[in-house]
């Protein structure tokens, strides 16, 4: 979702002169978000080199001096041309979002980015006022996949509130996920107990916002579908997220929103891509290494917790793609050791027979990224038909079985007698992974 315009009140645009190279980043001290996610500590292990991150948004100010060397040739689906660049008077949202992840670090200019070694693909799908169409958003996502983006960031606007119900956008997201891409989406700024971009069958990474005190931002949507949180500001205290802006090649401003939280996560995802992880392995790693917030363990307010760059890259060995710095070293004390391929994986047959399920239940093979309980349930027409729980250990593969309840056995026997198919919505949750939602069809 878009940064809250309320954040602009009292947040003056900054134009920063250029000190000599090597003087650091003059505005780095104002970026509490990077401190919160421990971005500096991660940078010695990975800068994101070799990763490509698509920012599907309102375009970018390509001559901004803090973004030089970071931008790939993108596309403008609003004007239908190969120039996604924008300038003063255009919506500055895309430039702000991109700078959070991409801004050059240690160049003596402005701010620092989460993944300053990655390459960024600007894809313009929103116009100068921040409005756009779902068809353009869907086309932008497909374009990002075709151009080889490893990570796709969707910090899209209130004007596109229908995204969650758009078949075109949902289809494009599913195609990106099926292609093994990481899709990061802002949870929304409505303060509602549901992620406002719920597509992706549980594979999309929905990001909520926390303020400078590590508390859920009042505006941040939460609850069902939330993956984790990241710094997005408060929109009240004038201490929001500082990043690059459109008003000039040296301009910066503060904005607040889940739009600002999402690129913190996309940047950390790029650090993991540089380490050799891809797709759902990246998602699982981000969730497994998030810093706990709120009540112990995953919860509705914070999901798996607040994204943590240092913990995410720890113990993953040498970075891929020539990424910044030395090897990853040992995992910090108290954190699990995991190799580059560590992630929770869930395998579930999409088609089966009613007779098989009546005899053996619904079965999924789970390889967990942490120790705990794997849970599975199945519903049809809003009714629970089966459920199962099994304790699993990290890096071990186990079969989890959801056994039919009385309603489930009765429904399947009735369908078998009438020779009808049954469609089930199956949810599987394993330690270190988001809830996975799958559609399973049972034939007579």
Which amino acids are annotated catalytic? 57, 93, 259
- Give Cα 9 to chain centroid, integer Å: 28
Chain CA centroid to CA 112, Å: 20
Euclidean distance between CA atoms 245 and 15, whole angstroms: 10
Say if CB 234 and CB 212 are below 8 A apart. yes
| CB distance 159 to 188 below 8 Å | no
DSSP state of 394: B
Question: Strand 151-154 vs strand 182-186: parallel, antiparallel, or unpaired?
Answer: parallel
Edge-first strand order for the sheet with 351-353 is 345-348, 362-367, 397-404, 383-392, 372-380, 422-429, 436-443, 351-353
Residue 286: HSE in the Cβ half-sphere, 13 Å Cα cutoff: 35
Where does residue 22 rank: exposed (0-12), middle (13-18), buried (19+ CB within 10 A)?
Answer: exposed
Cβ proximity of 109 and 175 under 8 Å = no
Concatenating the DSSP letter of every residue in 239-284 gives --EEEE-SSSTTEEEEEBSHHHHHHHHHHHHHHHHHTT--HHHHHH
CA geometry: angle 327, 332, 46, nearest 5 deg? 30
Please give the C-alpha separations between residue 390 and each of 28, 36, 330, in angstroms, as whole numbers: 46, 35, 30
CA dist 315 and 53 (Å) reads 23
Query: Under a CB-based contact definition with an 8 Å cutoff, are residues 266 and 151 in contact?
Result: yes
Token pair for 281: 């392995």
């Amino acid at each position: 979702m878009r940064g809250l315009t309320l954040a602009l009140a009292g947040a003056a645009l900054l134009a920063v002169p250029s000190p000599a190279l090597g003087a650091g980043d003059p505005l780095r001290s104002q970026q509490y978000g990077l401190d919160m996610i421990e971005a500096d500590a991660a940078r010695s292990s990975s800068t994101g080199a070799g990763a490509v991150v698509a920012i599907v948004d309102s375009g970018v100010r390509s001559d901004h001096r803090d973004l030089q060397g970071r931008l790939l040739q993108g596309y403008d689906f609003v004007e239908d041309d190969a120039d996604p660049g924008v300038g003063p008077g255009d919506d500055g949202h895309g430039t702000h979002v991109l700078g959070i992840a991409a801004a050059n670090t240690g160049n003596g200019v402005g701010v620092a980015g989460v993944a300053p070694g990655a390459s960024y693909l600007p894809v313009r799908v929103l116009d100068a006022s921040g409005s756009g169409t779902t068809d353009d958003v869907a086309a932008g996502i497909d374009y990002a996949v075709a151009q080889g983006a490893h990570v796709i960031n969707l910090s899209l606007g209130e004007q596109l509130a229908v995204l969650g119900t758009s078949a075109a956008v949902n289809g494009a997201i599913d195609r990106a996920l099926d292609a093994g891409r990481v899709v990061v989406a802002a949870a929304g700024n409505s303060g509602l107990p549901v992620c406002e971009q719920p597509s992706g069958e549980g594979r999309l990474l929905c990001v909520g916002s926390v303020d400078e005190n590590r508390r859920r931002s009042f505006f941040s949507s939460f609850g069902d579908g939330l993956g984790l949180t990241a710094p997005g500001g408060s929109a009240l205290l004038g201490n929001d997220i500082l990043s690059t802006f459109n008003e000039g090649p040296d301009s910066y401003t503060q904005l607040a929103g889940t739009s600002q939280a999402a690129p913190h996560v996309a940047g950390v995802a790029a650090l993991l891509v540089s380490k050799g992880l891809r797709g759902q392995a990246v998602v699982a790693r981000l969730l497994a290494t998030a810093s706990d917030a709120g009540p112990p363990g995953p919860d509705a307010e914070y999901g798996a917790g607040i994204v943590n760059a240092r913990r995410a890259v720890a113990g993953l060995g040498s970075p891929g793609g020539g990424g910044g710095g030395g090897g990853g070293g040992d995992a910090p004390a108290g954190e699990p050791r995991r190799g580059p391929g560590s992630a929770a994986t869930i395998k579930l047959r999409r088609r089966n027979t009613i007779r098989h399920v009546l005899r053996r239940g619904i079965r999924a093979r789970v390889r967990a990224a942490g120790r705990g309980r794997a849970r599975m349930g199945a519903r049809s027409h809003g009714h629970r038909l089966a459920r199962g729980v099994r304790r699993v250990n990290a890096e071990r593969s186990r079969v989890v079985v959801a056994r039919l309840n009385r309603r489930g056995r009765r429904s399947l026997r009735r369908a078998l007698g009438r020779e009808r198919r049954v469609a089930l919505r199956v949810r599987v949750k394993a330690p270190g992974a988001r809830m996975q939602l799958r559609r399973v069809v049972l034939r007579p």
